[in-house]
Every structure is written in structure tokens, then in C-alpha cells.
Structure 1
Amino acid sequence: MQNPAVKTFFAICLLSLSSYAPFAQAQSQLPDIGGSAFSTLTPEKEKQLGDVLMRQTRGRLPMVYDPLLDEYINALGNRLVARANDVKFPFKFYWVNNRQINAFATLGGNIASHTGTLAVAESESEFASVMAHEIAHVTQRHIARFVEAQNQRAPLTIAGLLGAIVLATVNPEAGMAAMMASQGAAQQSAINFTRSNEQEADRIGMTILSEAGFDPNAVPTFFGRLAEQSRFANQQLAFLQTHPLSQARVADTRLRAQQFPQRFVPDSMDFTLSQARVLARYHHNTQDALVIFKRRLAEPGGNTRANRYALAIALLDGKDYAAALEMLKPLMEQDPHNLYYLDVYTDILIGQQRFDEALELLQQEYLLRPNNQVVTLNYANVAVKAGSYPLAIHLLRNLLYHKDDNILAYDLLAEAYKKQEDFARYYEARADLFYQMANYPKAIDDLNEALNHLKPEARLENRRLEAKKRQWQAEFERLQRM
């Protein structure tokens, strides 16, 4: 599913955020993080603070809101979490649109991977090893203990903590300098841990990896390749700046891997297709992707499902709908209910303005998988394009009932209300979207617009929106004091 409107919205949101002090979105209650709160981070406080930080991070970094990739990384991540010990809260996994190899964890089980990490992984076990390492940092409370220790040197704020995390993710050297300057810490950035923490995360992450059914040898293989690449690079890889990697550490992981049974673990089709999707849509531009995947398909043994799928995406993004359909057709015939293929096929039908065919296809898929975000968002997107606004609104409101932080759903809902000329609900949906992106001023402004568009007799709606506005204002004022 493609949605150009949401890209424009994110640009507006990022520009708006740069004009204000840091904001955060919370649920019913914000954590008390003033004073000595950082020095005693209970799991409950860590989860609350982690949610605040991650929602702010979503408003600051170029996140990827792709339902297929979201489903993949959360399925993989939770498969690993299920094999971890000392899990104190649910984990959530995110993507950052960045070609550099890196991943990071924040407080409360929020973990993000750069798209570049998946792009260069030579096996699913390699990519899973990075996720397992970050999970281990969380379960061993390395981040929480680091925050507590830093706060003893100088009081921390949400703004300082968030700024260091964002900088260290986008530019590790700048992140380290910012944390050292703002906190007077002569050690590391907020996501750069001590050598002992890294070794512990390697050890525990490898156990998680093995017990989840992946190959532990992927850890030294991946580390060794990164270390070798960094020797010949002008600038050290981002992953190695935030996860220091010595030859001794590579050797240690190699020895540890030998303690586990050797196994061959084939890559899942979801990994193969997710990687192809990242390469075609996020790692390469459309013209480069066309050249790369045409060449791969022409090579001996290159006529694979992943290469055909990637080329279909590149052709679609280049608006060559007929060629994209021709490339995708054999895949659809082999596996007609595959969500990766269905997503591209839907966008092809939209490009060809074959809305009725798309609606009929997705109606059947929705009956099989109600409220699956890939099916629902594609179905709602087609409904909006076809002018079936009540259908789109019904689908999206049901999805948001189950997954109330879905950015694409709020964006499509706002579009559907606007097309229907229901401006009160349009501005409320926009407000909810800004709220999810931690932009309180814009969210409150849009709630005021929604109130202005309500009819005089809509007293119940008026009271509901006024209550929502008061709640957000109170949260915003409290966050400004932190």
C-alpha cells in the first residue's frame, strides 16, 4: 500500500516539532519523572517513560509506516521475546528509514531497526541476531540502569534523553557528543553501553536466538563481516559506533556459538519478501531498483519470487502498471492469498483505476482476515479512491478500535472525512494523528477547528471534544515542566 499524503503530513509534523519544546504523547497517565524518579526506575515507570520517549521519537525520526514490514518485524521480534527471560512488559518493534546498519532499544521494550540492517542481512538468522541483542539489553535493564546512573551525575529530562537517542541513531558521533556535553558524562551516549553490557547482551541474545529456532553462528558471522567492512570504510559503520565491536568480542561470540548445536535454518518467505520490499522501495531509488532487479532476474538462478516481487514493486513505483502486473501475475497464481502480493496487486488496480475489481477482491480477503492491518488498510484505501467513504470510515474505525496507534489508519480516516465534507471529524482525525506524533500544539489547534465545525445542536460531541482538549492541554503542560 502506498499513501503519498502521509509523507506530506510527516514533513509538516517534523517542521512543527522543530518550533516547539519537546512534547510527548501519553495514555491515561503520564509517568512522574521529575526529581528522583530516574534513580528508581521500576518496570512500571520504565514502561510509561519508554512509551513517552518512543512516541516522541516517532515524531523526530523518519519512521517507516508500512503494514507489511510492521507485521514482519513484530512477528519476528515477539517470537524472540517469547524465548527471553525476565520480560516485564510487552515489546513493540519499529522501522527507521535509514540505509545505515543500526538498531536501538529505548526504555520499556521499544526497539527499532534501520531498514539498512535488513537490506544487508545475508540470512534471517543474522537479522534476528540484531533484534535478539536489543531484546537482551532491555530484559537485563541495561538502559534503565544507565539512565539511573546518569541521573545521579546530573538530573535528566525527557528532552535531554530523547535528544541523545535521536542524535545517536541518526548520527552516532553527534549523539555521543550531545550526551557528553549536556550531561557531563565522559562515558557513552544513551544507547551506547559498557563493554560488559555488550558482552552480556551478546551472550543472552545468542541464547534467545537459539531457543527461538535460529542459527547462533549468525552472530559471529554478522559481526565479523561488519568488522571487516569497517576496516576499509572511510567512516566507521553506525552500528559499530553505537555497539563497539572489538576483535576479542568477535572471537568471544564465535566461541559461544560453538557451544550450541549446529543447525541449518532456512529463511522464511516473509523474511525474503520483506527484504525484497525494503531493497526495492526504501534502500534504492526506483530507477536503480529497476536496473538491479532486471539484472538479477537475468542471471542464472535469478528468477526467484523475491526478485520478481521486488521488480514488480519498482515497476509499480515507476507507474508502469501493465509491466508490474505481468511480473506479479505468476506469483499471484502460485499464492493468491499472499499479503505481500496482494498489497502490490491492489496498488496496480488502483493505478489502473479498476476500483470495483479491487473492492471485490479485498472484500473476500477481509472476510477471511477481519482487521488484519494489511488487508484493512488496502481495503479502506481503495474505498476512499472509489468514493465509498462510509465503507472506508467503518473499516478504519474498527481497525483503530483494535490498534489505536496506527498512523496510516488515522491518515486515511482524515482523508475519508474530508472527501465526505465532514469537517468536524476530519479535524478530529487530524488531531488524533498529530497526537500520535507527539505534536500537542498542532493536535490542540485541530481540535479547536473541529469544535468550530460542530453544529450548535451537537452538544454531546462538543462536550466530548472539550474533554479531550482539556486532557491533552493538561498532559502538554505537565510535559513542559519536566
Structure 2
Amino acid sequence: MKAIAVHQFIMSCLFGIAIMAAPTQALSGLPDIGGNAFSTLTPEKEKQLGDVLMRQTRGSLPMVYDPLLDEYINDLGNRLVARSNDVKFPFKFYWVNNKHINAFATLGGNIASHTGTLAVSDSESEFASVIAHEIAHVTQRHIARFVEAQNQRAPMSLAALLGAIVIATVNPEAGMAAMMATQGAAQQSAINFTRGNEQEADRIGMKVLAEAGFDPYAVPEFFNKLSQQSRFVNQQLAFLQTHPLSQARVSDTRLRAEQFPKRYIPDTQDFILTKARILARYHFTSQETVGIFEQRLSKPGGNTRANLYGLAIAKLDNGLFIEAQKLIEDLLQHDPHNLYYVDVYTDILLGQGQYKKALEMLEQEYLLRPNNQVVTLNYANAALKAGSHRLAVHLLRNLLYVKNDNILAYDLLSDAYKLMEDFPKYYETRADLYYQLANYPKAIDELNEALNHIGDSSRLENRRVEAKKQQMQAEFDRLQRM
């Protein structure tokens, strides 16, 4: 299933970032922290703030909503979290559609990686080393400690401070400007405070990496790669702006890695296929991909399933359905329930109008893995294409019951209601979607549209949606007052 990238806000809008960082009560149950509570930023408060903050980030950056990539990064991330100490809340992992190498952690266990980070990783251990490093920033509460320390130097509002932190994490240059505008030169020391924790994150991240079964030598290897790349560009790599890399730091990680025994750790098939998917769909242009993967396949040792999979995606995205179908059917012969292949095969069948065949295949997959987001979203999408709107609604509502922040599910569900001409549900679902992106004004507008379509036809439904709108408005008003 082809993913969508949402561009709702401009990251440099400090007001929007301030909203992201401010606490709420009405819908998210956040406590009233107050302006001077940084010294008591408990893990519970940190988690609650982080959830609001990440919703705004999802509405501000070109996030990748690809169920296969989402499954991969969360499986890998939680494998690392399982080996971490001081884990105080569940972690969530996200992708940003960006070719530059970068990753960042925010409050409350929310971690995002640029697609470009995995694209340049030569092994799964290299990519895992980046995620482990970010996990260590969270478990050591570096951002929370930064907030508390900065407040001791110069008290400031929660929204302004956390807003500047998040901008600095995602966009270092904008973060510098925001901090200088907010509190003057004193904020420079705040960034230095954050950077001072890099060595601790390296040490803990490497330990977690090794205990999770990855190669600790991947850490200095990845750092060396970053150093080499930064020599040949005029501007420092984005990752190095938020994770400054000194020669001493590189040497330290090399020495730490040598404390572990050397052993060969092969990449998983999921990593290999994820990398092929990212290269084919998010790293190169669709015009480039066919030639790139054909060239890879022609090289000695290049006739791999990953390259065949990448070529199948490239053919599909260029409308070459027959050629793509031959490639993916050959792969399915070897691994008939592989979701990477099933996903592409579904798009090929839908592109050719073979809706019945797609539904039959996906029904069997759904019986094997009910509410798996890859299967469910593909199944619902195929049902919509085939005109089975009620089936799509049933599948998507069940998925949202267990995964209520799934952007693609909200998007498809709103399409289903629109096709059914159930406009009250259509506009309410659109409101839920915009709420997940922290776009309160748009969400409230959509609820008003829902109320207009309900009218007096259902008093109970009218009261329910009106109450939902009032809750959302109250939350938005409170955010604006912070």
C-alpha cells in the first residue's frame, strides 16, 4: 500500500511548536503543570507532555505513514527498549521523509528517524546503533534534566522552552534562533547542556545494542562514515549538528567496542527489504529507481531478493504492472505470506482492477493476522476500490480500536464514509484525523460540519458530537493561554 506524507504546518512557526509543548486536560488528561514545575517534571508528566508534543510534530513534519516501515522501526526499537534500564513508559518510533541523516528523541519515549539514516546504513546494526543512542537520551531523561537545569538558570514558560528544545532537536539552526529570540544568549548554554550528554548516550546505547544482539562495532563504523561524509559537504550533516562528533568521541566509542567480542551478526530479512523499500520509494525519484535496481541486479552477487523487490516497487510506481507482477509473483513463490511482497502485490492487482483477486488474497491473510496494520490497511483499501464500503469501515474501526493513532486508518475511514454519503461520520472522522496532527482549528471546523449534517435528525448524536467539540475547543483555548 502506498503511503502518504502529511504537510500541515510550517516547522518554523514558534506558536505552533508552543502549542505542541503545552499541557492539556480535556482530551489527553494532562495535569496542570504550571510555569514553575520543571524541577518536578515527573516521568508521568514527561510522558503526557511528550504525547501532545509528538502529535504536533506529526502535523509539522513530512512524516512517513507506511505500515510496513512503521512495523519495522517499532519492532526494532522495542527490541532495544527491552534491553534498556530505567524504562518508565512505552516507546513509540516514527519515520520522517527526509534524505538527510538524522534522528531525534523528544519527551516521553517518542523517537523519530529520517528515512535517509537507514538508507545510508550498511548494516542493521548501524541503524540500530542510532536508535539505541536516542533511546538512551530518553531513559537517562536528558531532555527532562535539560528543562530542569535551564529553569534554575533563568525561569521561562514551559511552552517557549519546550518549543525551542523540539525545534533544536529537529532543526538545529531554527532551534538556535528560537532560543536566542526567547531568552537571549543564556539559551546557548542550554544546547550545550544537551550536547554534554552525548557521551553518556553513546556508552549506554552501545551496551543496549550489544545486549539486544547487534554489533557494538557498528557504532564507531557509523561515526566514521559520518565524519567522512561531512568532509565533502559545505554544511555540517544534520545529525552532527544535534549530535556533535569530536575525534575524542569517535575514539572513545572504538575503545568501548573493543571490550566486546567480535562476531558476525547477519542482517535480518526485514532490514534488507525495508532498506530496498526506502531506496525505491523515499530516497530516489521514481524515474531513477528502475535503472538503479536493474544496475544492482546486473552486478556480481546482485541478484538478490531485496533488489528484485526494489525493482518490483520501481516498476509498480512507474505503471509497469505486468513486469512488476511477474517479479513479485516469483518472490511470493518462495515466501507466500511475506507482507512486504503481499503489500506490493496488492497495489499491482488494484492498479489492474483485479479487485476480487486482491480481496480473496487479503481475506486469507487477515484470517492469519487479524488487525495487523499492514494486512488490515491493504484489505480496507482493496475493499474501498471494490465498492465494499461497509467491509472497509468494519476493518478500519477494529484497527483504530487497538491502534487509535493510525493516520492512514483515519484517512481511509473518512474516504469510506464519504463514498457511503454518511457525511456526519465523514466530517467527524476528518476531525479525529486533524486532532491526531494537533490541528485544532481544522478539527473543530470539521466537527461543526458534522453538526450541520446531523441537524435535528438525531438529538443523541448531536449532543455527543457537540460535547466532543466543546472538549476540543476547551483544550485548544487552554493551549493558547499557556
TM-score, length of structure 2 as denominator length: 0.95
For residue 440 of structure 2, what is the aligned residue in structure 1?
440
CA apart distance, 1:32: 2.3
Partner AA of 1:156 in structure 2 = S
> Could you tell me whether the CA contact under 8 Å between 1:23 and 1:440 is conserved in 2?
no
> Could you tell me whether the CA contact under 8 Å between 1:102 and 1:239 is conserved in 2?
yes
Partner AA of 2:9 in structure 1 = L
Q: Judging changes above 3 Å, is the alpha-carbon distance between structure 1 residues 190 and 309 closer, same or farther for their aligned structure 2 residues?
A: farther
User: What secondary structure does 1:30 align onto?
Assistant: coil
Partner AA of 1:128 in structure 2 = A
Percent sequence identity over aligned pairs: 72
For residue 39 of structure 2, what is the aligned residue in structure 1?
39
CA apart distance, 1:380: 0.2
**Distance in 1 separating the partners of 2:373 and 2:193:** 36
Partner AA of 1:462 in structure 2 = N
Partner AA of 1:446 in structure 2 = E
User: What secondary structure does 2:104 align onto?
Assistant: strand
Greater alpha carbon shift after TM alignment, 204-213 vs 226-235: 226-235
Which residues of structure 2 form unaligned runs of 5+?
Answer: none
- Structure 1 segment 352-367 matched on structure 2, within 5 A: 352-367=352-367
**Distance in 2 separating the partners of 1:116 and 1:182:** 31
For residue 382 of structure 1, what is the aligned residue in structure 2?
382
1:155 partnered with 2:117? no
1:166 partnered with 2:167? yes
**Distance in 1 separating the partners of 2:233 and 2:13:** 33
> Could you tell me whether the CA contact under 8 Å between 2:362 and 2:379 is conserved in 1?
yes
**Distance in 1 separating the partners of 2:15 and 2:388:** 38
User: What secondary structure does 1:429 align onto?
Assistant: helix
**Distance in 2 separating the partners of 1:166 and 1:320:** 41
> Could you tell me whether the CA contact under 8 Å between 1:165 and 1:190 is conserved in 2?
no
**Distance in 1 separating the partners of 2:13 and 2:183:** 22
**Distance in 2 separating the partners of 1:163 and 1:441:** 23
Q: Judging changes above 3 Å, is the alpha-carbon distance between structure 1 residues 83 and 145 closer, same or farther for their aligned structure 2 residues?
A: same
Q: Note the alpha carbon deviations across 1:205-231, whole angstroms, 9 max, x for none.
A: 000000000000000111011112212
CA apart distance, 1:177: 2.8
**Distance in 2 separating the partners of 1:160 and 1:186:** 12
**Distance in 2 separating the partners of 1:334 and 1:185:** 61
Q: Judging changes above 3 Å, is the alpha-carbon distance between structure 1 residues 191 and 419 closer, same or farther for their aligned structure 2 residues?
A: farther
**Distance in 1 separating the partners of 2:330 and 2:70:** 26
For residue 215 of structure 1, what is the aligned residue in structure 2?
215
Partner AA of 2:133 in structure 1 = H
Partner AA of 1:260 in structure 2 = F
**Distance in 2 separating the partners of 1:114 and 1:44:** 27
Match of 1:14 among 9, 12, 26: 9
**Distance in 1 separating the partners of 2:309 and 2:181:** 47
Q: Judging changes above 3 Å, is the alpha-carbon distance between structure 1 residues 427 and 51 closer, same or farther for their aligned structure 2 residues?
A: same
For residue 416 of structure 2, what is the aligned residue in structure 1?
416
Q: Note the alpha carbon deviations across 1:271-327, whole angstroms, 9 max, x for none.
A: 111111111101111011112111101111111111111111111111111111122
> Could you tell me whether the CA contact under 8 Å between 1:143 and 1:191 is conserved in 2?
no
Partner AA of 1:441 in structure 2 = P
Partner AA of 1:425 in structure 2 = K
> Could you tell me whether the CA contact under 8 Å between 1:165 and 1:191 is conserved in 2?
no
Greater alpha carbon shift after TM alignment, 405-414 vs 471-480: 471-480
Q: Judging changes above 3 Å, is the alpha-carbon distance between structure 1 residues 109 and 476 closer, same or farther for their aligned structure 2 residues?
A: same
Q: Judging changes above 3 Å, is the alpha-carbon distance between structure 1 residues 191 and 362 closer, same or farther for their aligned structure 2 residues?
A: farther
Partner AA of 1:321 in structure 2 = F
**Distance in 1 separating the partners of 2:315 and 2:105:** 35
CA apart distance, 1:176: 2.1
Partner AA of 2:162 in structure 1 = L
For residue 141 of structure 1, what is the aligned residue in structure 2?
141
CA apart distance, 1:262: 1.5
CA apart distance, 1:455: 5.2
For residue 281 of structure 2, what is the aligned residue in structure 1?
281
| Runs of 4+ displaced beyond 3 Å | 15-28, 185-196
> Could you tell me whether the CA contact under 8 Å between 2:146 and 2:194 is conserved in 1?
no
User: What secondary structure does 2:112 align onto?
Assistant: strand
Greater alpha carbon shift after TM alignment, 426-435 vs 28-37: 28-37
**Distance in 2 separating the partners of 1:298 and 1:283:** 21
Greater alpha carbon shift after TM alignment, 172-181 vs 16-25: 16-25
**Distance in 2 separating the partners of 1:166 and 1:64:** 19
**Distance in 2 separating the partners of 1:102 and 1:292:** 24
For residue 428 of structure 1, what is the aligned residue in structure 2?
428
User: What secondary structure does 2:9 align onto?
Assistant: helix
Partner AA of 2:86 in structure 1 = D
**Distance in 2 separating the partners of 1:109 and 1:388:** 38
Q: Judging changes above 3 Å, is the alpha-carbon distance between structure 1 residues 195 and 398 closer, same or farther for their aligned structure 2 residues?
A: closer
**Distance in 2 separating the partners of 1:335 and 1:74:** 23
For residue 300 of structure 1, what is the aligned residue in structure 2?
300
**Distance in 2 separating the partners of 1:188 and 1:255:** 31
CA RMSD of aligned residues (A): 2.0
Q: Note the alpha carbon deviations across 1:193-248, whole angstroms, 9 max, x for none.
A: 54541111000000000000000000011101111221222111111111010111
> Could you tell me whether the CA contact under 8 Å between 1:133 and 1:205 is conserved in 2?
yes
1:229 partnered with 2:223? no
**Distance in 1 separating the partners of 2:289 and 2:346:** 20
User: What secondary structure does 2:111 align onto?
Assistant: strand
For residue 104 of structure 2, what is the aligned residue in structure 1?
104
> Could you tell me whether the CA contact under 8 Å between 2:176 and 2:188 is conserved in 1?
yes
Q: Note the alpha carbon deviations across 1:21-65, whole angstroms, 9 max, x for none.
A: 554587431232431122321001100111111111111111111
**Distance in 2 separating the partners of 1:284 and 1:207:** 34
User: What secondary structure does 2:454 align onto?
Assistant: coil
CA apart distance, 1:187: 5.8
- Structure 1 segment 242-281 matched on structure 2, within 5 A: 242-281=242-281
CA apart distance, 1:457: 3.5
For residue 63 of structure 2, what is the aligned residue in structure 1?
63
**Distance in 1 separating the partners of 2:61 and 2:192:** 18
